[in-house]
Chain A
């Protein structure tokens, strides 16, 4: 029985240090980059995008968020409803407000329009963030941050980090840890 416990313990007790790999492409300056929506399997990605955007902005990149730029003029409709009830001994009032904004953002446009719009904005680089869970014992999570030039898709730099994780941790925590590790690797 002791042997069984030792065996189970050996699966989870000690963690290997993270593995970080960095690749650099041909040297060429990239200044303004667009971050494509992150892809990370079953976990929530929005926070990961924000972490990478903040870090790249800190390092001097001009970061364009496709989800924040309207592709066309958007239509905004605002409805405000006030209810006043004076039938009782004391008058009561309630109000509600609904705002609807309709129209595509840059992330919703067709691929040819997107390409033209990025060129018009002077975007010369594209950033892609990916994380993936690796099945096996011990469990691991891998994150890749890759910057490519937009006009020929050639590599500027890519950083990959593979970290051992605990099955007890939340998937989004593991993904965030791997992304921060890859960012740290890219800073070297």
Chain B
């Protein structure tokens, strides 16, 4: 019983202080940091030697009791909000590739009031291919046409970590539109603790890495 109590105490304290991943920032020499308007693409997931299903969180609970909060179809739902917030606070103005339509969408708003007085409303938007649907070469063309200086890509890679465990790495790169060269690369990785926790923590880690390397004055006092 005493051993169990000690274990419970240790577990409770460890729960307060989970290890924080560290960011690795690469800025090629001679390239200066330039804040400005850039195109940002949704995070994509790459299965590196693991089952492709691991890249689709929503499919991981198939056949199990439904979780309290449904898992999203993509890790972008966890990574992108935090990452974009940090990028903007670092000084970048972001043009969201997934929200930028290449053609005008068709919207139909409807409202029905039935015989009992109950009201139902609906909105359907169809069509409208976005920049995120384009291949990289055409993305650069669109970015150039809009006067955007760079394209930010984000890759969430899942790979084996030995002993049946998996690890996740988040790599975010700013590509120069004119030269197609990387202006900076930030990477964070850790063993996959959870399908929600790890992507959230890695997004925060990369975001803090960008802030620490490029605009340290904007970094809130947190360990990387």
Q: Chain B residue with minimal CB distance to A146?
A: B88
- Stretch of A33-41, A47-55, A56-64 on the interface side: A33-41
Question: Any chain A CB within 8 A of the CB of B106?
Answer: yes
Given contacts A7-B16, A111-B146, A148-B93, contact A41 B113 (CB under 8 A): no
CA distance A180 to B189 in the complex (A): 33
Given contacts A97-B112, A104-B107, A111-B100, contact A1 B16 (CB under 8 A): no
When the two chains form the complex, which single residue of B69, B93, B107, B112 contacts A105, counting CB atoms closer than 8 Å? B107
Q: Give the shortest distance, in Å, between B122 (CB) and chain A (any CB).
A: 9
Question: Any chain A CB within 8 A of the CB of B18?
Answer: yes
CA distance A158 to B87 in the complex (A): 12
The answer on a CB contact under 8 Å between B17 and A8 is no
Given contacts A130-B85, A136-B201, A144-B89, contact A7 B9 (CB under 8 A): yes
CA distance A21 to B146 in the complex (A): 30
The answer on a CB contact under 8 Å between B102 and A4 is no
Q: Chain B residue with minimal CB distance to A1?
A: B5
Which residues from B are CB-within-8-Å of A115? 146
Question: Any chain B CB within 8 A of the CB of A83?
Answer: yes
> In the complex, which range does the number of interface residues on chain B fall in?
35 or more
B interface SS class: mixed
Q: Give the shortest distance, in Å, between B83 (CB) and chain A (any CB).
A: 8
What string of 1s and 0s marks CB contacts (under 8 Å) between B64-108 and chain A? 000001001000011011101100110101111001111111111
Question: Any chain B CB within 8 A of the CB of A99?
Answer: yes
Chain B, range 8-37, C-beta contacts under 8 Å to A: 8-9, 11-13, 15-18, 20, 36-37
Given contacts A7-B15, A101-B108, A130-B81, contact A110 B102 (CB under 8 A): yes
Given contacts A4-B8, A4-B12, contact A97 B113 (CB under 8 A): yes
Q: Give the shortest distance, in Å, between A49 (CB) and chain B (any CB).
A: 14
Which of A3, A5, A115 has the most B CB atoms < 10 Å from its CB? A3
Which residues from B are CB-within-8-Å of A162? 220
Q: Chain A residue with minimal CB distance to B118?
A: A96
The answer on a CB contact under 8 Å between B9 and A95 is no
The answer on a CB contact under 8 Å between B16 and A39 is no
Q: Give the shortest distance, in Å, between A71 (CB) and chain B (any CB).
A: 7
Question: Any chain A CB within 8 A of the CB of B111?
Answer: yes
The answer on a CB contact under 8 Å between A110 and B115 is no
CA distance A162 to B208 in the complex (A): 14
> What are 24 residue pairs bridging A and B, where the CB atoms are less than 8 Å apart in the complex?
A4-B8, A39-B84, A41-B77, A41-B78, A41-B81, A96-B112, A97-B113, A98-B112, A101-B108, A111-B146, A115-B146, A130-B88, A132-B81, A134-B204, A135-B197, A136-B18, A136-B201, A137-B16, A142-B85, A146-B88, A146-B93, A153-B93, A158-B89, A162-B220
Given A96-B112, A134-B204, 19 further pairs, Cβ under 8 A: A4-B8, A7-B13, A7-B15, A96-B113, A97-B112, A101-B109, A110-B104, A110-B128, A128-B88, A130-B84, A130-B88, A131-B81, A132-B81, A135-B196, A135-B197, A142-B85, A144-B88, A146-B88, A155-B91
The 4 closest A-B pairs by CB, nearest first: A7-B12, A94-B115, A135-B200, A153-B37
B→A interface (CB under 8 Å): 5, 8-9, 11-13, 15-18, 20, 36-37, 69, 72, 77-78, 80-82, 84-85, 88-89, 91, 93-96, 99-115, 125, 128, 131, 145-146, 196-197, 200-201, 203-204, 218, 220-221
A→B interface (CB under 8 Å): 1, 3-5, 7-8, 10-11, 19, 21, 23, 37, 39-42, 71, 83, 94-105, 108-113, 115, 128, 130-137, 142, 144, 146, 148, 153-155, 158, 160, 162
